[in-house]
Structures are given as C-alpha cells and as structure tokens.
RNA sequence: GGGGGUGUAGCUCAGCUGGUUAGAGCGCCUGCCUGUCACGCAGGAGGCCGAGGGUUCGAGUCCCUUCACUCCCGCCA
C-alpha cells in the first residue's frame, strides 16, 4: 500500500484505502467518536475513529499529543456541514480501520506551532520546535537555496573543494577558536574564520573555478545576525576581474529569485562608491528602499557662533550634516527625545532639529531649540540645501566623522522603519572603490577588507598616503544588509609582502604565520579574485526573519552556548592531561 | 568590557504604594459526551515567585550579589 503525506490526501483519493503516518497534533474525544488531527511536515489531515471496532476505539482513546502513529483507512467525503475550509484537506477525512502506536510521547513542554513561546524553550526542545510549520518551511527553504546555488556553480564548471576545519591560527581578524593538539603538546589548531588562504592556494594549484558551502568560526560576541559558527558560500576564480565576478553573482541571484523565491521580475542591481555611500548615508551598507539622505552643511554654518557647530567647522576629521525627514513634524517631543537617546549609544551628544511649519516665514514658521544661534540667511541656506517643504523635520548632527556617520545612519534606519518610509521590493547594491586601509582603534592601519585584497594600482603603495590607496574590494548589499563581499586578490609575493609591511607585520611574523602562502605565491600564482556570502544571513533576509538563529537547525544562544546539548561543558582531568592542559584556578 | 529589557504553575502572562491562603488563559489528569476541528460540560492536580544574601514585625514586591535568556554599543581582517 502506497504511503502518503498528509497534504497529499485530496478528493482524488476518495474511497481509496491509504496508509499514513505522523504525529498526533490534536485528539478531540467526543465519547462516541474520536477525531485526531494527524500531522507531518506537509500539514494536517483529520482521522475519524468510530466506536464499532471496540479494540481500535480503545486504542484511539489512549493516544495523546505527539504520539507517533501509523493508520490505515478509507479516504471519505466529509458529511454535509462538517467541511473545514481552513484546512487544505478539510473536505475529506480518513475513516480509520487500523491504528499502530509507533511511539508514545510525554506531554510536550511547548505546543507545536505556537508562535508565542520564548526562544530559550524553543532552543532547549529544538526537536519539538522543528516540527512547526515555520521551522519546517525555513529549513526546507534553506536546503532548496543551497541546492540551487550548488547546481548553478556546477553548471558553470566550478569545482566544489572541501578545505580543512583544523587549520592554523591567523594574527589578524577575529579571535580564533583553538583546538589543542594531543600529538603536539603546547600547540594548537585554529578553526577557520574563512577558507580565504586555502581558496587562494587552490587557485595557485590550478583549480581555476572553486566554490564551497563552508563552515566558518569566529570567537566574537553574538548578535541577532551573528553566530560563532556560520555558513559561507565561498567562491574564487582565476584570470578574472571585478566585472566578471559581479556578472556571475548577479546571474546567481537572478536564478535564486526565480527558482527559490518564485520572483519573476528582473532584479535591480545598483552600484555606488564607498565614498558616496558614507557621504549620503553614513555607512557602507545603505538601504536604498529608504529615501532619507544626509547633506553636509559645514560650509553653510562656518560663521555660526554656536559651539556645537563651531567646534567642528575647522576640524577636517569632523562632519556637520542635516537630515531632512519628510513629514517629520508629526514626531512628538517625546519621539525626538527617544531618538536623541538612541543616538547617544553611538557617542553622539544630541540631536538638534528644525520643525518646518511654514518655510516661507522663517521668523515664525521654523521652530528650533537652536534657532537663536542662527541668522535668517543661514537658516534659509540650510532649507535650500535640503530642499525643505512644509511639514518636514530637519535633524542636525555635528561631531567626529565616525560618530556622525554611525549615529546618523542608525537614525536613518530608525526613522525609515518608524515612519514607514521604505519602498517595497528588493534593492541590491554593489559598494565599490573601498580604500585598502583604515585606522583601527589605536590609530594604526588595518585592512578594510582583508590583507590579501589587491590595491587598485600597485604603484599607489609607494606614492599615496596609506589611507588614500584604493582597493579592488566590493561588497553586495541587499536592503541595507551586507550579504557578501570579496575582492581581486594580490597575486604577487612582493606586493603581498609590501602590504604586510604596511600593516606593521614583521618579516619574522610574516614568515611564521604566512610563510607557506608567500612561498606559494612565488610559484606561478594566477591573477584571481572571489567573493563570499553569509548563507544564514541570506536565508534570514529572504524569508524576512528577525534572527539568524531561526535559519540554523541548532544555533547558539547569545552567550555562545547550546541549550539543547548544554555545550560547552567541562571535561575530565584525563582528557586535559592527554592534551597537556592545566586549568588556571580562578582567583575569585 | 559597557548600557537596556525579561525571569512568578508544563507554556504564555497578571500580581498596585511591602500586609492573610500567589492568580488567569492555555495545557495536563479524571468523569460525561457520536460530527468536532480553539469541541463542549463537571471536577481535580500542579508554585522554593531564577539562585544567594540583606533591610523589615512581615518580601513575589525594596536593596546588594549572582545566574540564565534577549536587544544594542564595543568587538566581528
């Protein structure tokens, strides 16, 4: 007898005897008749137990929620008036002739498909949570996405190569997860932060088109969109350039949207320079659905005798911006106070603003706590600069470049969401022309992308100011989220050593940490480049989920533990001594 | 490392300015019920109020410490 899934039972099977198995979603016992909703991943179908068969009926009385059962029965029309239009299978039911209880179940601690359960409960009982429609849909979507991605790259003759999980620690970047070596006491493997050096080494090895769905590990603090272990789609090609990679990836996303998202319209990919992104949006991942943009007004306020502005007028590392919010006068004083409070976490000291009630009457039509510092000419020039209309609110921020950018980009995001300013749809954006280096917290140069990124022109390395050297890096942004990034790489040993040198990595350290790679570069490395995408984050975005955890079967909590298995856990002394490890006794 | 939020029954939550015996809905158990699908009706069980300490005649409620979960800043080449 053929086996079916619940949702496959339709009128086509009327009067046929079928076999079905699944979980008991609900039992409704009317004394003389028992209904059971049987559930599998496809959905629900109603079973009917009639009292004529006493043994069968008795057994049906004993079943409870989440029992695993197998039934045989006849697919029947529902009686007049008992059709349930809320169920796809609501026109039929199964009159059960035999029941096997394959397994009992304790009363579950959470209800399947109850979307109002706390996440720690869901993670502790992930196997129950996973029975829900939502998790089933997400995990199957993810699988389909990966299938489409793999097929795309196979069809283009890319080679899928697995790279090591036990590898070498790297000096830059995130904290490594370390694995002690038993065979080599006092030495450690590191889990890969990404397969970067391996994929470049594959290029040197003549694997001219490579891709991998790769697990990556970074021991840093978590966020709703960051897990310590995550999945990357990793891609690398030899003899390539930016344009070929961009075309390849746009083609991939066209396929993903067609086959996985059932999205028929053409996708819209725009491009923007890193400089323009920072200038207009204060960040390198603007959401193009959001119409709000920043306007620099330093020139307009240079004569203004107002300390908040004048402190920054002559500082080249400072920015003074205006942000016009159309219809923003609807924000209450309390709303504005809350927004002011929320930008403070980025180091901003406050938010000044104009309320534009009547822009033709600057005397009375513009209200602002800072109006007394500004003359009519300055106010007028600001209104012109942002092309203000009646009903607009204009926020001002003056501070160091970093603080203005981070606080105002957050404000743009917040206002866009709160005032419903976002347009519909999917906005892809390539960010190009990144500089090679930026200053780190200690004022030292650090790679914006990573130290294997090629400069646009190698002669710049000698001639230009280190922070003005353009790189060949690119990022792909989708609706304000970074989904991937890559670069054309350095393929010359000399250039690579020069970059390390600029990063203050000593010859000795270079040799110790990257010696193998520098050697490899010297044996005929083809020009190459690539890109990597965060698969978990992509699934989250495409499905509109709030957290990356919902896209991962067994995710970690914010403190990097697994509530299902209770990992991490302490280990036996014996295990430790085999690894030559002593636990430092905590002073506390 | 820092800031915010949450923690009370199996689950989701209420519990005011400290005051008798800590509540609700759902779930669970028992009984009744032949057309329900949020089944219904009757009855019942279930709590170390996250943990530890303190203030008080008295603490779920106030104070301190700590743990867990969560959002954010730092961090994430």
DSSP 8-class letter at A329: G
A345 touches strand B (CB under 7 A): yes
Helical packing angle, A507-521 and A493-502, nearest 10°: 160
- Nucleotide nearest the Cα atom of A557 (by C1'): B69
| DSSP reduced 3-state for A60 | helix
For chain A, the structural domain boundaries read: 3-103, 136-271+429-551, 290-422
Q: What is the pLDDT of residues A445-475, one digit of tens each?
A: 999 999 999 999 999 998 899 999 999 999 9
What angle (nearest 5°) sits at the alpha carbon of residue A101, between those of residues A98 and A104? 160
Options 2.40.50.140, 1.20.120.160, 3.40.50.2300, 3.40.630.30; CATH for A3-103 is: 2.40.50.140
A193 touches strand B (CB under 7 A): yes
The answer for residues whose C-beta is within 8 angstroms of residue A194's C-beta and 6 or more apart is: A214, A216, A232, A234, A532
| DSSP reduced 3-state for A151 | helix
Q: What is the pLDDT of residues A2-40, one digit of tens each?
A: 889 999 998 899 999 999 999 999 999 999 999 999 999
A443 touches strand B (CB under 7 A): no
Mean pLDDT, range A466-491, rounded to an integer: 97
Task: Place domain A136-271+429-551 in its CATH homologous superfamily.
Answer: Bira Bifunctional Protein; Domain 2 (3.30.930.10)
- Nucleotide nearest the Cα atom of A123 (by C1'): B69
Mean pLDDT, range A385-406, rounded to an integer: 96
Rounded Cα distance between A420 and A428, Å, is: 20
What is the percentage of chain A residues whose pLDDT exceeds 90?
A: 92
A88 touches strand B (CB under 7 A): no
Mean pLDDT, range A553-558, rounded to an integer: 98
A170 touches strand B (CB under 7 A): yes
User: For residue A255, how far is the Cα from the chain centroid?
Assistant: 20
Q: What is the assigned CATH class of domain A290-422?
A: alpha beta
Exposure b/e, A27-41, CB count within 10 A at least 16 = b? beeeeeebbbbbbbb
Q: What pLDDT is recorded for position A588?
A: 39
Q: Please give the model's pTM, rounded to 2 decimal places.
A: 0.95
Mean pLDDT, range A176-205, rounded to an integer: 97
Residue pair A386/A296 in contact by the 8 Å Cβ criterion: no
Q: What is the pLDDT of residues A498-539, one digit of tens each?
A: 999 999 999 999 999 999 999 999 999 999 999 999 999 999
Mean pLDDT, range A573-578, rounded to an integer: 94
| A 358-397: CB within 7 Å of strand B | none
Q: What is the pLDDT of residues A359-395, one digit of tens each?
A: 999 999 999 999 999 999 999 999 999 999 999 999 9
Q: Are strands A3-4 and A17-29 parallel, antiparallel or unpaired?
A: parallel
A84 touches strand B (CB under 7 A): yes
Q: Are strands A318-325 and A294-296 parallel, antiparallel or unpaired?
A: antiparallel
Residue A456's H or E segment, with its range, is none
pLDDT surpassing 90 at residue A586? no
């Amino acid at each position: 007898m053929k086996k079916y899934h619940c949702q496959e039972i339709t009128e086509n099977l009327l009067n046929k005897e079928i076999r079905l198995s699944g979980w008991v979603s609900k039992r409704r016992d009317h004394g003389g008749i028992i209904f059971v909703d049987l559930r599998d991943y496809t959905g629900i179908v109603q079973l009917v137990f009639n009292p004529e068969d006493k043994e069968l009926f008795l057994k049906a009385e004993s079943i409870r929620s989440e029992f695993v059962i197998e039934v045989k029965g006849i697919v029947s029309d529902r009686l007049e008036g008992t059709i349930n239009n809320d169920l796809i299978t609501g026109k039929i039911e199964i009159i059960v002739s035999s029941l096997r209880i394959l397994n009992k179940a304790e009363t579950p601690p959470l209800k399947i498909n109850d979307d109002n359960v706390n996440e720690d409960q869901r993670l502790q009982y992930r196997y129950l949570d996973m029975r829900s429609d939502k998790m089933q849909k997400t995990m199957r979507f993810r699988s389909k996405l990966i299938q489409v991605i793999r097929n795309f790259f196979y069809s283009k003759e890319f080679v899928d190569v697995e790279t090591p999980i036990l590898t070498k620690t790297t000096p830059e970047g995130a904290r490594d997860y370390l694995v002690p070596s038993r065979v080599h006491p006092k030495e450690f493997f590191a889990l890969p932060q990404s397969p970067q050096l391996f994929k470049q080494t594959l290029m040197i090895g003549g694997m001219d088109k490579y891709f991998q769905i790769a697990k990556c590990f970074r021991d840093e603090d978590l966020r709703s969109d960051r897990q310590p272990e995550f999945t990357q789609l990793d891609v690398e090609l030899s003899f390539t350039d930016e344009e070929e990679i961009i075309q390849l990836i746009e083609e991939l996303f066209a396929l993903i949207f067609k086959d996985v998202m059932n999205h028929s319209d053409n996708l819209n990919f725009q491009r923007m320079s890193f400089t323009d992104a920072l200038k207009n949006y204060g960040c390198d991942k603007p959401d193009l659905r959001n119409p709000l943009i920043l306007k620099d007004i330093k020139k307009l306020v240079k004569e203004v005798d107002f300390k908040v502005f004048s402190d920054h007028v002559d500082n080249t590392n400072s920015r003074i911006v205006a942000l016009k919010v159309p219809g923003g006068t609807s924000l209450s004083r309390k709303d504005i106070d809350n927004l002011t409070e929320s930008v403070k976490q980025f180091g901003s000291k406050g938010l000044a603003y104009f309320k534009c009630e009547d822009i033709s009457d600057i005397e009375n039509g513009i209200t602002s706590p800072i109006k007394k510092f500004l003359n009519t000419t300055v106010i007028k020039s600001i209104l012109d600069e942002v092309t203000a209309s009646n009903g607009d609110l204009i926020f001002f921020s003056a501070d160091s470049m970093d603080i203005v950018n981070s606080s105002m980009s957050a404000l743009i995001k917040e206002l866009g969401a709160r005032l419903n300013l976002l347009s519909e749809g999917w906005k892809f954006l390539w960010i190009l022309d990144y500089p090679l280096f930026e200053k780190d917290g200690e004022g030292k140069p650090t790679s914006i992308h990573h130290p294997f990124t090629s400069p646009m022109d190698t002669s710049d390395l000698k001639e230009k100011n280190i922070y003005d050297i353009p790189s060949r890096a690119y990022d792909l942004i989708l609706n304000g989220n970074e989904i991937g990034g890559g670069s054309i790489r350095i393929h010359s040993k000399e250039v690579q050593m020069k970059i390390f040198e600029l990063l203050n990595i000593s010859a000795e350290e270079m040799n110790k940490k990257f010696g193998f790679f520098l050697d490899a570069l010297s044996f005929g490395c083809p020009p190459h480049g690539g890109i990597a995408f965060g698969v978990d984050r992509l699934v989250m975005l495409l499905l509109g989920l709030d957290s990356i955890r919902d896209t991962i079967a067994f995710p970690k909590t914010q403190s990097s533990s697994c509530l299902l298995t209770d990992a991490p856990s302490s280990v036996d002394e014996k295990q430790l001594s085999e690894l030559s490890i002593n636990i430092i006794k905590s002073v506390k």
